Amino acid sequence: MKAPLGFLLPLGALCACLAAPHRMPLDMAEQGRLSRTLENQPRFLRISFFVTPFFGDEGKQLLSPVHPSWLHLMEDTEGNPVSPGEVEALLPAGTPVRILKVEFPTSLAIGGRTPYSPRTRPWVYVATPHSPKPFILVLRSVFKNAEDFQAELNRYLTPLNLSSRMEAFSKDEKTAIHTKEALLGIGAEALEMALGYPESKTWLFEGEQKTETWHWGQGSKTVTLRGGRVAP
């Protein structure tokens, strides 16, 4: 696994990681309304997250939906993804959290962020009852409208209490979700909650048998499902 950012590349090389701010269809008024609406809202983690350092910022931690070695938030000069650091903890799906604030990448916000971080994207500050520092959920950059932003946020932080859904899972599925592992025999929903949303899926049909392959980290990780369950 790559070393944390501070030891990964010299200063000059890291400059290539910093792209210009992406244009967001959401205007300043919409961003303000969303921020005010979401502030202090209770939510639940829709998928399990790894907790890692936040690109050298000791006051924050990153909520990573996938293993940091598969994460692609920043690139070095050769186009390789930069890891935020080693896994420090794991928060399973269903964990209750609170949205502290939503911070859009305005010029003012970008200027106050750690230089070598995914600073041109929206940041959602999240806390658990016992978290010593805020967790940052980094979202994609472009949204069609406020509803599109809300839908994307709900994929990671749902307003629905998942306790009853979690109870319906098998023992192996619960274990997979709490360990972020793809255990044999677990269903597609449990796999999604455990490993996070795949970047892509491929399908193969042999008679009535459908085989799916899920891909993460630009092919770094693949999992095969047959009949809707993880297979060897």
Do residue 116 and residue 203 come from a single domain? no
Give dist(CA 146, CA 148) in Å, integer.
5
Torsion angles phi and psi, residue 99, rounded to 5: -80, 115
Q: State how many domains the chain has.
A: 2
Count other Cβ atoms within 10 Å, centred on residue 131.
16
The better pLDDT of the pair 80, 23 is held by 80
The better pLDDT of the pair 53, 21 is held by 53
Q: Is residue 178 part of a domain?
A: no
Q: Is the pLDDT of residue 9 over 50?
A: no
Q: Is residue 175 part of a domain?
A: no
**pLDDT at residue 21, rounded to an integer:** 42
Q: Is residue 206 part of a domain?
A: yes
Do residue 139 and residue 194 come from a single domain? no
**pLDDT at residue 18, rounded to an integer:** 38
> 26-30, 74-78, 94-98, 116-120 — which one is most confidently predicted on average?
94-98
Residues with Cβ within 8 Å of 13's Cβ and at least 6 positions away in sequence, in order, are 76, 77
Do residue 115 and residue 215 come from a single domain? no
Do residue 45 and residue 150 come from a single domain? yes
137-180 pLDDT, tens digit each:
999 888 889 999 999 999 999 999 999 999 999 999 999 999 99
> pLDDT-based confidence at 5, cuts 50/70/90?
very low
> pLDDT-based confidence at 124, cuts 50/70/90?
very high
Q: Is the pLDDT of residue 7 over 70?
A: no
Domain span including residue 209? 185-231
Here the tokens at position 146 are 């406020």
**pLDDT at residue 24, rounded to an integer:** 58
Q: Is residue 171 part of a domain?
A: no
Do residue 107 and residue 210 come from a single domain? no
Query: The whole model's pTM is what?
Result: 0.84
Q: Is residue 65 part of a domain?
A: yes
